[in-house]
């Protein structure tokens, strides 16, 4: 007896498969994270992230321009200062590396893509935590939010179009939104890293930002077994004024991404973090996987789960591949 239903009809050729695709990703949905370091004369390769570097202002400009040329939707900037202290003073210094770099990139490509900045203190503190510490060594939530407000204003003044609030402090969105509005920055976009998990995929990033962290961030980043809590965090951030919410890391938390997408009425982004990047690059370097196919499989997974945009270190390269397929 012959089958009545033949799903293979819709897979029979490349043109048919393209026509029948349920999920799509385009270059403008990709955001490229970039690192800029104070006090270096030339870009420094990041050993655990092949192909990525700590940039000078000049190399940052060039790399951002390449991303814009490829059609990437945005760049997310992370700063690495020469001098750190307990409260991350360089974070809101107008002459601090991240703020100077933001102005430079905005001048270079601000008309072509969205210039974005990471709003967190971990790169700027001498203890490596994302906030201000109490005398006992705990992260002080409310004192940290005061620093975030100052940092947000500094970034907005420097020309950042979108602030990525990644510190996971309670109430951070509301505090930063109120500070921005009070100074007239009504159009500055807030991306809340709402469901940011304290998992094991951040190791290469710690090298990228020369992290000073001792211990862990489990008292403020989320516990990996908790999915519903990620939805709760996203709903709270939307209530406080977030324009976009984020799930981070990416592939290990696609279930949370899909649940958040169903729960909120704002765009939902995902961050394909350094550990995900490093694993694919290492396996590809050993000839164990097809590098390009694996990268595109992973980006497609984000789109299928509901991501409206993806932060990925492959953004410029993947954008070029996607344009080849048009």
**By the 8 A CB rule, do 243 and 191 touch?**
yes
How far apart CA 288 and CA 44 sit, in angstroms, is 28
How many beta carbons lie within 10 A of that of residue 135, not counting itself? 6
Q: Which residues are catalytic?
A: 196, 248
Beta bridge partners of 269: 246, 309
Locate all alpha helices (DSSP H) within the chain, ordered by sequence.
14-20, 57-70, 97-109, 141-158, 172-182, 203-208, 228-240, 254-263, 274-285, 291-305, 315-324
From residue 290, give the alpha-carbon distance in Å to each of 51, 116, 198, 280, 319.
17, 31, 29, 9, 18
């Amino acid at each position: 007896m012959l089958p009545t239903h033949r799903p293979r009809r819709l897979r029979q050729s490349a043109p048919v498969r393209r026509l029948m695709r349920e999920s799509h990703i385009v270059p403008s949905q990709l955001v490229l994270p970039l690192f800029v370091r104070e006090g270096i004369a030339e870009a420094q390769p990041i050993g655990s992230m092949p192909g990525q570097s700590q940039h000078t202002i000049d190399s940052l400009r060039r790399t951002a321009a390449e991303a814009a040329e490829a059609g990437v939707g945005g760049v997310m900037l992370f700063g690495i200062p020469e001098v750190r202290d307990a409260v991350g003073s360089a974070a809101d210094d107008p002459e601090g590396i991240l703020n100077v770099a933001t102005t430079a990139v905005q001048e270079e490509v601000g008309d072509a893509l969205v210039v974005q900045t990471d709003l967190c203190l971990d790169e700027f503190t001498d203890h490596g935590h994302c906030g201000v510490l109490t005398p006992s060594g705990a992260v002080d939530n409310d004192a940290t939010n005061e620093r975030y407000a100052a940092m947000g204003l500094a970034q907005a003044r420097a020309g950042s179009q979108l602030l990525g609030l990644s510190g996971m402090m309670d109430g951070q969105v509301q505090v930063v939104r109120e500070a921005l509005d009070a100074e007239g920055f009504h159009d500055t976009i807030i991306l809340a890293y709402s469901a940011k998990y304290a998992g094991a995929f951040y190791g290469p990033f710690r090298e990228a930002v020369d992290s000073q962290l001792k211990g862990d961030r489990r008292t403020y980043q989320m516990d990996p077994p908790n999915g519903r809590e990620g939805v709760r965090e996203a709903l709270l951030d939307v209530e406080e004024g977030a324009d976009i919410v984020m799930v981070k890391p990416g592939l290990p938390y696609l279930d949370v991404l899909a649940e958040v997408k169903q729960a909120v009425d704002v765009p939902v982004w995902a961050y394909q973090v350094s550990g995900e990047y490093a694993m694919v690059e290492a396996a590809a370097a050993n000839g164990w996987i097809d590098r390009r196919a694996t990268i595109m499989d992973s980006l497609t997974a984000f789109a299928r789960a509901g991501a409206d945009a993806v932060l990925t270190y492959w953004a410029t390269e993947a954008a070029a591949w996607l344009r080849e397929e048009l």
